[in-house]
Amino acid sequence: MKDDNVKYEYVQKTHTKIRRERPAKFKDHFLNNDPNITVVPDYFRKNIFTTSENATADSNETSICTQLSISNTTLSRILDIADNWEGKVSVAVFFKDGTNRSQLDLFTKFYNDNTDVFQDRFAFHFVMDNMVDRQRDYPINMMRNVAIEYSVTKYVLSLDVDFIPSQTAFADIDTHVDRLMKKDKVSMNVLVIPAFEKLLPIEKSWIFPESKRELIEIKEEYHVLQFHRFFPGGHGPTKFPRWYSCNESYSIPYRYRYEPYVVVQKSHALPPFWEHFFGFGINKMSWVEELGSIGYEFHVLPESFLIHINHVEHGGRRVHKKETITEYKRFQNYLKERYNKTKKRKMRA
């Protein structure tokens, strides 16, 4: 019997499907169905990843999937990622005003100046909001979904652009994808990459650590700490004290409010990010909560790590917490209806 509440979308014109499941009344949570949003996949290569017969949508490698709005800081972070990651990178780029040429010209110059860096590895997908007067914050979860949808590998690491992976991450992920994920046609395992942050100021002598051992040696001197240590629920379940001394991956249970950065397999089981969270707050946590509700199992990698390069906060991307909490209540209703989840979570203002 056909389920009218299930939506399927083809990715890269291959036989890979991402199954987007939403009860009917929640279908409006896909912003890229908005007629005023224009998505241009792989802009600089004229959609080669979506039309080429050689597109590697079933590649067993892992892509970094990231997203950004244009600034000097975010563009420099793209180059930092390129320095440390040898695999493919799928980048969703947001333009608040799709009719404004200045940002497009700026990004085109950035691309042309670094063509040798991006060649055969990077794909940039433009997302343009054509409603110039729309008062809405940065659509972070829609951007994450776009980056994942147009990635060309079977496994993806959804990463915010100001997180830089260690040089050991690509090989460590590849090893553990082989060990923990490839044996199943649809893997219900996720690989957790421990996340740190480099506090300001950025010293002139600061150099990104090349290995876990080097990270442990310099973390006190250069103030490299567990990411958002003031919010222990967010990354505390990774068990950093255990990670410092481990030589092998280890399993951890899902905990409410956990929001690690993870490697997942693109499959019919993988839910998309909830697209009506904007700006900051709960956007990634809600996705990880859904992974936990489905039954995904979490495994912490022994050698990989991420470092968030802190920067001076800028305005214009925060949402009112009341709006975020209201949306989280809608998300909780969705979890209850979709997964028969009866325990509702309370998010304090």
User: What pLDDT is attached to residue 8?
Assistant: 25
Spatial distance between the Cα atoms of 271 and 273, rounded to a whole number of angstroms: 7
Spatial distance between the Cα atoms of 201 and 311, rounded to a whole number of angstroms: 9
Domain ranges of the chain: 33-154, 162-323
Share of the chain above pLDDT 90, in %: 56
pLDDT digits (tens, 9 = 90+) for 116-170: 999 889 999 988 877 656 667 888 999 999 999 999 999 999 999 999 999 999 9
The answer to whether 148 and 288 have CB atoms below 8 angstroms apart is no
Spatial distance between the Cα atoms of 284 and 273, rounded to a whole number of angstroms: 7
19, 20, 23: which is closest to 5 by C-alpha?
23
Question: Hey, what amino acid is at 126?
Answer: F
Q: What tokens appear for 193 in the block?
A: 């990459």
User: What pLDDT is attached to residue 166?
Assistant: 97
- Three-state SS string over 101-127 comes to HHHHHHHHHHHHHCHHHHCCCEEEEEE
Q: What tokens appear for 320 in the block?
A: 């009112």
pTM here is 0.85
User: What pLDDT is attached to residue 132?
Assistant: 59
Spatial distance between the Cα atoms of 114 and 109, rounded to a whole number of angstroms: 9
Spatial distance between the Cα atoms of 43 and 56, rounded to a whole number of angstroms: 18
Q: Where do we find the tokens 């979506």? A: 50
Position 34 confidence tier, pLDDT thresholds 50, 70, 90: low
pLDDT digits (tens, 9 = 90+) for 297-327: 999 999 999 999 877 654 444 445 788 888 9
DSSP letter assigned to residue 270:
P
Cis ω on the peptide bond leading into residue 201 (within 30° of 0)? yes
pLDDT digits (tens, 9 = 90+) for 228-255: 888 899 999 999 999 999 999 999 999 9
Spatial distance between the Cα atoms of 308 and 211, rounded to a whole number of angstroms: 16
Position 15 confidence tier, pLDDT thresholds 50, 70, 90: very low
Q: Where do we find the tokens 């203002």? A: 349
Q: Identify the three-state secondary structure at position 29.
A: helix
CB atoms near residue 78 (< 10 Å): 21
